[in-house]
Structure formats: C-alpha cells, structure tokens
C-alpha cells in the first residue's frame, strides 16, 4: 500500500515557468488537499477536494490551480512561478471529508520547490 505519493521531491524553477506537482493516493480517499509550509507559518491550505470533480479554495489559492478528474489524483499546477512560491508543498488525503469522521490524515513526503 503506497499511501500518498508526491512527485517531484525537489524542483528548481525559473520565474514565470509553469509546472505541476503530482499527488496520488491508492486508499480510495474522498478528501485530498494541498498545503504549503513556510518557516514560522505552519501548513497553509491551498486547495482541497471532497471528491472527484469537486474542488475548492483554501487559505492561499492565488497562483495555483487544481483539478480532480479521478478519486486517486489531485495535481497542483503553478501557472507562472514566482519567488514567493518557494516553499515545501504537502499533499494530504483523508478517507472522508465529513468533519466528524475522525479519520487519520495521510501525508505525502513533501515537495521542495525553489523559484529563482
């Protein structure tokens, strides 16, 4: 059972380039989300999805797009990379989006992105 798989682990981009961070889970989880983590800021929610075909914005969505065409995959696209998007990105999934489900959150190992 692979859990949550994120790729790439490390990436350097030039300002203005676009790229996609991939996230896949093999646990048939309803809920998937993307976070960025910056020093002293904790994890901030970028976008999330409660099921295939459904996405919504989190706390810091600007500059990022997501789609959820299948239950398994939830890619995060950087449209035109900026130095402010230098961060560590974590994908997370959970069995149910329901707030009271109490399900464990599973994380990918993180993607270290540097924009120069």
Partner 1 sequence: RKEVEQDPGPFNVPEGATVAFNCTYSNSASQSFFWYRQDCRKEPKLLMSVYSSGNEDGRFTAQLNRASQYISLLIRDSKLSDSATYLCVVTNNKLIFGAGTRLAVHP
| Residues of the shown chain interacting with partner 1 in the complex, contacts defined by CB under 8 A | 31, 33, 35, 40-45, 48, 50, 56, 58, 90, 92, 94, 97, 99-102, 104-105, 107-110
Residue 46's alpha-carbon distances to 1, 35, 92, in angstroms, are 26, 5, 11
Tokens of 29: 């989880």
CB crowding 84-93: b at 16 or more within 10 Å, else e: ebbbebbbbb
Nearer to partner 1, 28 or 104 (CB): 104
Instruction: Please identify, using beta-carbon distances, which residue of 13 and 31 lies nearer to partner 1.
Output: 31
Q: Please, which residue, 1 or 40, has the CB nearer to partner 1?
A: 40
């Amino acid at each position: 059972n692979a859990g949550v798989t994120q790729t790439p682990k490390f990436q350097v981009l030039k300002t203005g380039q676009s790229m996609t961070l991939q996230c896949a889970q093999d646990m048939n989880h309803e809920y998937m989300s993307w976070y960025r983590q910056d020093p002293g800021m904790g994890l901030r929610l970028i976008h999330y999805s409660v099921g295939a075909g459904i996405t919504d914005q989190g706390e810091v969505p600007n500059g990022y797009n997501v789609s959820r065409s299948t239950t398994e995959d939830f890619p995060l696209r950087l449209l035109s990379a900026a130095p402010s998007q230098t961060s560590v990105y974590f994908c997370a999934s959970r069995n149910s989006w329901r707030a009271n489900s109490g399900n464990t959150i599973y994380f990918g190992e993180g993607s270290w992105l540097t924009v120069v």
